[in-house]
């Protein structure tokens, strides 16, 4: 048999299977060992709200903070959830609604990729074995970081690329489709991770379409098979009521259990004598959430409560993520804290948190939010409307603020 011979070594290399999955290469990419050796920062506690101060807010570059946390036994390997919404490599400068400088998003290309990758390597080490990462990006860099995260977390620990509708449709004049989506990459540190399935409530039309049958008691139900793929040699592979499972399949339950289900009225028998299982609507807690989120837009009307910080995310978005991938009492980290949405929502949901941001405007915004809440987005004039209503919530008192230390000041513990 003729065997084709590659024309050159480059062609031969391209034909060899990639070992260990795909990699993204660029100038300046550091070895993981070098990143893990990042010198830890030293931070002074400059203020505390409450005697316990179980939560921490750092005003500093997040790289030395993450390196310090990695050497903190109270944090390293104990973070249950990380959500980060980093700059999107827009090459732009952002200001708040009050025209105050918020942050510069000037890193682009390989410099941006490596900067974020360094932080992700440290984050991976900080996560508990059953922890999760949600990385929020737009179309500029989401595809790059699918490969980067496969390298760091392993391809097998990729869970989802969530598509979020971020805004209302736009009236574009250029030759392209309207850009109304961004993306959240969801990875876990291992195959075993905290997961509280997110559900959407049923509406009448959807329930009637999904559960089309009604029994004698008026209970709505749907019919599903009582068999599953794969041969079995045990009880589930034996006949039930004189019938064998279809070829190449087995019963989902033992014949004895199927008898019990039938006695409870949970088996539907077709006119030709084929059994199916009844799934009753009354037992459904909701519709399992899929990976396209149409209901989590950012602020889009005058009554939505916001801080005015640029690129501020919807609190409901963070609540969904925090509830799905952590439990009360767990530690949540956001090292691009911005306006503090993650921190405020985590407090409301009884999670502990660590937030980091180097922007003075971000820290000021977060402190105001934690202590006073958020304000309506609309700019009101005259009369009672001039009194801007606050989004009232219980003020967060149990946190401490840290800033870079000068001299030999004890690193935050």
- The predicted model scores a pTM of 0.79
* Among the listed residues 33, 49, 59, the one whose alpha carbon sits nearest the alpha carbon of residue 335: 59
DSSP helix/strand/coil, 69: helix
User: Pick from 54, 119, 118: which is nearest to 84 by CA?
Assistant: 119
Q: Which helix (H) or strand (E) holds 372?
A: helix 360-372
Reading the block at residue 107, the tokens are 């890193």
In order of start, what are the domains of the chain with their CATH numbers?
21-134+301-404 (3.40.50), 204-283 (no CATH)
pLDDT digits (tens, 9 = 90+) for 22-31: 899 999 999 9
Orientation of helix 360-372 relative to helix 341-348, angle to 10°: 30
| β-strand partners of 220 | 214
d(CA 334, CA 65): 12
DSSP-derived secondary structure for 311-345: TPPPHHHHHHHHHHH--TT-EEEESS-TTSHHHHH
Question: Who contacts 138 (Cβ-Cβ below 8 Å, separation ≥6)?
Answer: 88, 182, 183
Helix (H) or strand (E) holding 199: strand 199-200
pLDDT grade for 306, boundaries at 50, 70 and 90: low
Answer whether residue 91 shows pLDDT above 80.
Answer: no
Beta bridge pairs of residue 188: 132
pLDDT digits (tens, 9 = 90+) for 158-182: 999 999 999 888 766 678 888 899 9
Confidence of residue 80 (pLDDT cuts 50, 70, 90): very high
Nearest alpha-carbon partner for 83 in 298, 343, 279, 278: 343
Average pLDDT of the segment spanning 95-107? 54
Note the pLDDT tens digit of each residue in 207-244. Answer: 999 999 999 899 999 999 999 999 999 999 999 999 99
2 pLDDT more than 80? no
């Amino acid at each position: 048999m003729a065997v084709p011979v590659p024309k050159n070594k480059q062609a031969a290399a391209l034909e060899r299977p990639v070992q260990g999955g795909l990699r993204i290469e660029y100038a300046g990419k550091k070895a993981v060992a070098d990143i893990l050796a990042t010198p830890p920062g030293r931070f002074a506690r400059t203020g505390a709200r409450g005697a316990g101060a179980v939560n921490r807010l750092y005003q500093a570059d997040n790289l030395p903070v993450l390196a310090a946390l990695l050497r903190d036994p109270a944090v390293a390997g104990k973070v249950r959830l990380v959500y980060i919404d980093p700059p999107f490599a827009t090459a732009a400068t952002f200001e708040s609604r009050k025209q105050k400088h918020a942050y510069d998003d000037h890193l682009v290309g390989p410099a941006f990729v490596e900067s974020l990758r360094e932080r992700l390597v440290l984050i991976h080490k900080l996560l508990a074995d059953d922890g999760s990462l949600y990385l929020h990006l737009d179309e500029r860099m989401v595809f790059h970081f699918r490969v980067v995260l496969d390298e760091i977390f392993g391809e097998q620990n990729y869970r989802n690329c969530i598509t979020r509708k971020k805004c209302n449709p736009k009236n574009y004049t250029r030759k392209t489709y309207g850009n109304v989506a961004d993306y959240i990459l969801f990875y876990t540190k291992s195959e075993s991770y905290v997961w509280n399935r997110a559900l959407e409530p049923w509406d009448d039309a959807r329930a009637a379409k999904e559960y089309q049958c009604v029994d004698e008691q008026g209970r709505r139900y749907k019919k599903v098979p009582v068999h599953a793929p794969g041969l079995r040699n045990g009880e589930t592979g034996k006949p039930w009521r004189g019938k064998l499972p279809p070829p190449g399949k087995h019963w989902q339950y033992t014949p004895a259990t199927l008898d019990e289900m039938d006695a409870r009225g949970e088996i539907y028998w077709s006119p030709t004598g084929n059994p199916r299982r009844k799934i009753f609507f009354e037992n459904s807690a909701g519709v399992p959430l899929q990976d396209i989120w149409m209901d989590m837009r950012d602020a889009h009307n005058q009554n939505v409560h916001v801080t005015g910080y640029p690129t501020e995310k919807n609190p409901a978005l963070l609540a969904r993520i925090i509830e799905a991938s952590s439990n009360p009492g767990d530690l949540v980290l956001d090292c691009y804290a911005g306006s503090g949405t993650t921190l405020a929502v985590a407090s409301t949901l009884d999670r502990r948190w660590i937030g980091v941001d180097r922007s003075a405007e971000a820290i000021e915004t977060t402190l105001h939010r934690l202590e006073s809440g958020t304000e309506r987005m609309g700019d009101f004039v005259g009369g009672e409307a001039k009194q801007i209503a606050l989004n009232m919530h219980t003020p967060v008192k149990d946190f401490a603020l840290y800033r870079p230390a000068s001299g030999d000041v004890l690193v935050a513990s």
